[in-house]
Every structure is written in structure tokens, then in C-alpha cells.
Structure 1
């Protein structure tokens, strides 16, 4: 297995508005997959964690999973072309050599890994078109060391770290008498092995002499040049070649593009990137990471084959309940205990769906199948999930397997199921500081039937008075909740665990009529009390769906 395959993250995530089972199963299954495969499985959450779930996580000292807002494809899912950049002081020749070596046409100019600009083959071509400008080298503040390196030469006298900042480039091909007419102070003079020409350039206060064809430099010339801080560079090239190459010593900062750059961030979504690219004619676009560092270039061609985010879904298989962008992700597995929903996959996946009261029960089975004993904290999470989903074994969805599994896990976690469940449900129904929307959507699931879309929220409590307080808070605002959700109908279950009953609040469309007909309630019914109904999955949803389909 390659390091890239090991490091690539696989997100294990439950449904939106996650409940305790959704969070705890994701954490436990990610741990199991890491131990079995050695790959980087990471537990995530698709929404805000409830008070009940926070209580469970805190009890077992487990960190809350990070939020996975969506799994839309981003630039970080694309094969970004990595390339080392050059500094702004690098010569055009160095930039060209790097482009040629890497078969690229665009090069980043970096400082401390931050993007200062970009230089392209077109920019380098323009530098050659400006050869007629003899002041170009000084205007670009070219370092003598760069000139020396470009000409494959050596410094005979002077400071190679100094800069050519004033004057022009001239070729001393004339007699000394003629040279006096066009050489000015601070010029850079290209000369051959003629002593008189070299001496004349020094007397005219040239700042630099470039001696061609590796000609010997006399002691006198060296002495005079040193006294006047004149740089002498010896190059093996002839005069023509030297004159042709010398502009390649100009630093790239003089030709690079630094303003109005079109850059992208690694977290940008591909759809947005494609839209920007259609309006630009550039070949390569720089990509920046979250710390502002240059990471590489992206081109249109590289957007054609992005890597889909890999996900494992637990405790759901409905598209409306899945994290946004699921259609763009690669679903590897689905572990669930609900009805088969409308989620489609790109290809075959491992789909494990069992008629049990809780996904956590299935997860523990998988631990056993792999002969792995869950650690104390994982056992505690799985046990809490079962107690939550089965309402302490009181829900009709609870099977003997669920109860036996919970009691086994409780022993590993060293907890008393009854006492722990009471504390957990009490924490979950403590909604004093929450808004109506937060209460309604903390355990809320959406469903599709024919052309209808409806949502069902649920609060479980062992305290009748507490449920009455929640009802008084929710009822006046339920119409606003319906509008905010954008659904056709909204139902809210106030479930009394002790009395094994649910008071159902509803809003929108024919919501009340649907419930009345579905449960065959009398027309004079005011409060909708559903005795014996405590399970959203097994009792409420199937009954409502059957009525809506008719």
C-alpha cells in the first residue's frame, strides 16, 4: 500500500441533525476500520451535536468529531502540479532553465513559500524583444553575481553582491578615441583583450568591465579597477555571445506579473473554479493553501479527473439526510438499520442493513467478527447509542440482540445501564437555553413520499412536566419552523419514555388530517396523543408513509 493511499482520508459520517447513535457509531466504526485496514478513517459529524450526545462524549472523555459541512469536490481533491519556485532575484536564465527542465510554461516567484508573482515563457520572450534598451540591466537592478553566473564567468575584482543600478551596457568595439564619445560614468562595458580599451573604460568611470574570451587581465588594470571599486568579470564567451546572453541575468522580478493575479485556494469548490477559468485565458493558475503558501498550479486539463471524497455512511441511507454534496462523493460503505432509502451510488458498495434497534449494535457485531475487543470508551459510546435509540429497551424497535449487546458493552464500559440512561435522557431534554429552531432541528430527519417532502423531529424525556414546557415553547412557533425548513409538512414527537406514549405536534398542508387518518383518530381529537408510539423509525414513519402513498 502506498503512503498516499494510507494518508488519504476516508470520512465516516452519520446523518444531518445527528443523534447519539449517528455520532457514536461513526466514532466507533472509524476506530475499527483504522485498526483493521491501517488506513486513515476519520469520524465526522454532519450537524450540531445534541445535549444528550455531548453528555455521552464527556462521560467517556471522547472528543466531538469535527464538522463535515459537505463533500463537494474541491481543488484539494485534484492532482495539483507541484513545482518549486524561484526567488524574485533569480535571473531570467535560471527561470528558463527550470521551465525547460520541468516542461512547464509558467513559474511561481516565491518568498518564504508565499507567492510574489509569476513569470511565463511569454514574459521571457518579451525580455529578448527589449534588447534595444541598453539601460534595461540597470533599471532592473541586476546583481553582478547574477551577471557572472549567466556568463559562466568569474569575478576578478569588485563586490559580486553589489548591483548594477545606473548606466547602460555598451560594447567597446571602437578605438579609445571613439569610446570617449559614448561611454559615460557607471556604464557596464563589454571589452576584449585590448589593454587600451580596458584602460579607457576605467578612466571613463565605468562601473563594470566584462572581459570576453577569458582574456588575461593585467595587474595594472586590476589595481586601477580595485582603487575605483570597479567590478571586472571575466567570461569565456566572445563579444557577440556575451552581448546576447547578458540580458538573461536580469532578475525575474523585472518581468514577472505581480498584480491582479487569479489565484485559487485549496478549499475552493471545483464548480466555482471552473466558472472563473471560463472567463480567463491563462494556461496555469496558482493555488494557495490555508496558510497563504503556494502549493502548485492547476490547469483546465487537471480538473477533468478529480478524486472524489471517500465516505462511509452510518445510521442512514436517505439522500436528504446525507451530508451535502454526497452525489459527488465516492460512497465506500453504508452501515444502517433503517428502511432502504433513495440514495444512489456510483458503483457497488458494501451495504450492511439489519433490522435492529440501533446501528451501534451492528458496529459491535463487526468488532466481534474481527476479533477485536472495543476499548472502554468505545464500548461506552456504543452502549449509550443503543440505550438512546431503544429508549432503554422500551422502543418496539429494540430486539433481544440490542439489549444483550448493550448489557455486554456496559460491563466493558463499567456503567449501570439504568442509571446511565436516566442521566443521559435528562441531559438530552434539558433545553432551557435553546431556541425553538434549535430544539426542533436537533434530532430532525427528512423523508420523501411521492411529491411530498416532510420532516420529523423528536424529543425523548422521562419527565412529563418537562415535555409540557417544551410543548408550550414549540407550539406557537411551529409555523415558522415549517417555513424555515422549506418542507411541505413538519411533525414533532414529544415522547414520554415512562408512559410509552407520544404527543404529536404538526404543521403544514394536510399534516393534521394525515395523522388523524393514519392512526384512525376521532374527529373531535384536540391533542394528538399516540399511546404506545415511541419509535419514529418503526411506528410513526411507516404509518405516515402508508397513508401518504394512498
Structure 2
């Protein structure tokens, strides 16, 4: 089930050609209109000059590049636990944890993560801290003490900080109190006037009067003169003593060093290993700017949502964007042979023996009675012209021709003139390097244990193809090693002459070509008259030769 908030990626194959890019854009637009959900076209490789021209011609923004579709932290349900200030009292932090049913609170400042505090840290503060000077060491704000004790400030400023002295209970008579009360101490006492007076005269920093006992005007006046804070609380002495440590700011106990955080763009596979080695239950998430975004736990990984993908113009894993095995494939729209892709559950799969995926997309617009905008019509028409070599390819059907002619009318273009513009833009390769030419349109394939790659360049200019051959042939062996395939075949296709010069590298490559087409090598290439289609003419013949 797709929710409105879930983005679905519509993407073609690696080293995308015009059909791959234009079909992805057009099909994403169709899905948005049909469902109202967020379908977005992406690309898995560099856009070639032909496709770039077409996109600019119809003022279409190129799809964003994605290197892979592996599951990332941003695909997990991040718990948006709000960051707190480090002056927050332990008691309030504990209350927030119980209210929100969390075991960890993030401590932030201006969106940046300063630290975290866990229920374990709070328990430690309560069970293991016996130092009666800890409140001063923690620089506890009086406002925290008032809040924790549910107290009322009778004398003093709630925004000042208790940062000197110890905490003690005045259980003895005034004579003995003089022996252990020191300057700046916080003294917990009752309603005895003499005890209150003694504490103030001994220069206590604060007195906490328990059980809501009345404090005389004389005591309050003296306290104000001596700079002594007076707090009245409804709790008894025992309760106040228990609560006092809970007024300390969480900054005293928060974890700041060696924090384990994850970025929103981190891959789930990577963080799983880190999480497994840690005792932490929760981990803060930061965005690419280092701003705190929320928390995740190991439990969140159980409910993670994989990226949702629609594949267009391919159905083979080797040609798909990296990480496709980790994604949830929703649909496949293609016109190639059935390949090696596997899915976790049934998907909508439309595969038709047509000359172009864009023709299938056009048919789906018609079947759903969705109006085709002129810019989308231009993209689909261009894809059909490109993939069928202006109807010259043997893969071209009457449906492709009818679709292209209808789309041309909607887009307001003349097919013949438009085709000339497209091929001229695509064949402008003089300034490109060998690797740029190679990756214009390259795909990997496999037959049994044999792997091979096939690339293709189309041009109207025989001289340009000759120049490309001189630059490209020395690069092919390097490309073969980089891709780790047994053989590479590269088609230099002359659109006007409807012929191809085939270059090849690999230990068995020449034998395969000669067996497939019964030709001999001339000047590091094979002349294949009438062969212009990689899908319908070259690959079937090569595969048949390999299987003999």
C-alpha cells in the first residue's frame, strides 16, 4: 500500500538512453495524475547529449541522479523526540520520559545535539550520588529546586544558581546548628523561628521551610538583607531530602563524549552492525548539516520501509540501479527480453514486443484516457524516434509509428525534421573522450556463466564514426576489465546506411561474432550490413552463438 507521504522512484537503467529517461519522466507524470501520490523520475547514470537536447527542447528539468536505492536511515520511522535544554531538572526529564514512553532524551542547543540522558543515568544520579555538595557542583538553578519541591519563592531570585555550599537538614537545636552550617549552605528545616534565624545568621545561601510553615516578616526581612533565599514547600523534611537531588540539571549527568549518532543518509546495513555492538537502546539522528532530527532504536529497524521503485526500459539486475535488491519493486514497464530481476512479491509487469518503452507508456496514457501534455508528448515522440532509429530498426512496429506520429502532432513537431535534430545532437561526439562515448549507451548481459557488455553509438556521419572508432577501440579492453565481463561488443551504427561496424574485445569475442554473422574481421572491426538493433539483431545472434 502506498501512502501519500511515500515517494516512489521511477527509474531507467544505468547509462540511460533517451527512451530510459523520457519514459521515466512521462510514466511518473502519468502515475501522479492517476493516483495523486508522489511519483518522481530519477536517473541511474549520466544523461547523454541527445537526451540533454530533448529535455532542453521541451523545457524539462533533468531527473535527479541516484547512485543507489538501498534503504537509508531516512527510510526508517524516526521517532521525533523533541530536544531539551541541559538546564532541565532530573525530575522533569524523568517525567518527560514516562509521558513519551522513551528511555532516552536528546539534549540540544539551537538544533545541535549536545548530549543525551537515559533512564539509567537518572537512576545512577539517584542511587549512587551521596555527595552533599553535588547540587552546587551541578550549578543547580533555583527555578529547578522550586519546580521539584513544588515550592514558593518567598525571598530571592528564581533565576539565580545555587553554585556554592552543601545541602543539609537542620534537625538539631540552634546551638548545635552553629557547628555545621557554613556560608552559602542550603538548609532544610521546619517552622522553628530560632532555627530559621540561626541559619540566616550563619550566612546560609538558602533555607527551605517544609510543610508550608509560616515564615515571619522579620525572618524574610533579615534574609533579604543577608542575601539568603527562602523557599517554602508543602512537603515534609524527609520528602524534601529525597527530592532535592532531582532538582539538579541534566547537564551534570548527560553523556557528551563519544556519542554514537547516525546521519539520515546512512545505509541501514551499515548502522545495523554498529547498533548490534552497543548497549544503547536509542541513537540520535542528524541531517547532513548536523541538525538533530530524532531518535531510532533497534526496534525501528523491524518496521523500516524499503524504497519503492518502478523500473522502466529494463528488467535485468545488472542494468538496474545499485541496491535494487534492497528496494521494493512495484512495477516493471519494459520492451526487452525477460532478464534476471527477482521480486519479493508479485508486481505489475508490462512487457510488450514494441520498438520502445515510450510506446507502452503512450498506450497507457490512452488506455487510462489521460490527456498528454505537449511537453510529455515531445519526450515520448523523441524516445520512439531515437529507439527505432526513425522507424529503421527491425524492432519498430506499426504501433510505434502510429504513436510517434500522433505524439508529434500533440507536441507540434515535424517528425522528419525533429529526427534530424535529435540525431545531430546525439552524434556530436568530436569533443567527447573515449569513456564518455563508451557510456553513452552501454549495458551488461549474461548467458549462463558468460558475461558480456554491449554499447552502441548512432550517427548520421560516416566520417565521425571512423574518428570515434580510432579513439574508442583502445579503450575497450580497459572497460572490459573495469566491468569484469568476459567480452565487450560495441556497435558503431550508421543510421543513413542502416549498417553497423562492430568492435569487440575478449578471448572468445571474435569467434562469437564470426560464428553469429559469418563475417571476417577487417581493420579491428566487423561490417554488419542491415544490423542496427542491439536488442533484436545483435544480442539474439550473439547469445545463439554462445550457446552452440
Tell me, yes or no, whether TM beats 0.5: yes
Q: Residues 15-414 of structure 1: matches in 2 within 5 Å?
A: 15-414=13-412
Q: Could you say what the CA RMSD is over the residues aligned between the two structures, in angstroms?
A: 1.5
Alpha-carbon spacing, 1:152–1:523, altered in 2? closer, same or farther (3 Å): closer
Distance 1:293 1:143 in 2: 27
Corresponding residue to 2:425 among 410, 424, 427: 427
Q: Secondary structure at the match of 2:85?
A: coil
Q: Does 1:474 find its partner at 2:489?
A: no
Unaligned runs of 5+ in 2: none
1:547 and 2:539 matched? no
Q: Retained in 1: the 8 A contact 2:54–2:422?
A: yes
Q: 2:8 aligns with which of 7, 10, 14?
A: 10
Given the two structures, how large is their TM-score scaled by the length of structure 2? 0.97
Shift of 1:471: 0.7
CA shift, 1:259, in A, is 0.6
Change (3 A) 1:524 1:458: closer
Distance in 2 (alpha carbons) for counterparts of 1:289 and 1:522: 59
Q: Name which of structure 1's ranges 192-201 and 100-109 shifts more when overlaid on structure 2.
A: 100-109
CA displacement at 1:476 relative to structure 2: 2.1
SS at match of 2:3: helix
Q: How far apart, in 2, do the equivalents of 1:5 and 1:224 lie?
A: 67
Q: Deviations over 1:497-525 (max 9, x none)?
A: 00000001111121111101100114778
Q: Higher mean Cα deviation, 16-25 or 388-397?
A: 388-397
Helix, strand or coil: the match of 2:303?
coil
CA contact (8 A) 2:196 2:207 kept: yes
Secondary structure at 1:261 match in 2: coil
1:486 — aligned with what?
484
How many residues end up aligned between the 2 structures? Answer: 548
**1:93 to partner: Cα distance:** 0.1
Please list the CA deviations of residues 425-454 of structure 1 after superposition, one character each: whole Å capped at 9, or x if unmatched. Answer: 121122233321121122101111011110
Q: Could you tell me how far apart the structure 1 residues matched to 2:255 and 2:235 are?
A: 32
Q: Deviations over 1:322-374 (max 9, x none)?
A: 11111111111111111111111111111111111100011011111111111
Closer, same or farther: CA 206–524 of 1 in aligned 2, 3 Å = closer
Instruction: After TM superposition, give the deviation of residue 74 of structure 1 in Å.
Output: 1.6
CA distance in 2 between partners of 1:207 and 1:524 (Å): 100
* 485-494 vs 519-528, greater mean Cα deviation: 519-528
- Contiguous gaps of at least 5 residues in structure 1: none
How far is the alpha carbon of 1:97 from its aligned partner?
Answer: 0.7
CA separation in 1, counterparts of 2:312 and 2:341?
Answer: 13
Deviation (angstroms), 1:90: 0.4
Structure 1 distance, partners of 2:529, 2:465, is 15
The farther-off stretch of 376-385 and 110-119 is 110-119
Say which SS state the counterpart of residue 4 (structure 2) adopts.
helix
Picking from 446, 461, 464, the partner of 2:462 is: 464
Measure the CA separation in 2 of the matches of 1:383 and 1:48. Answer: 21
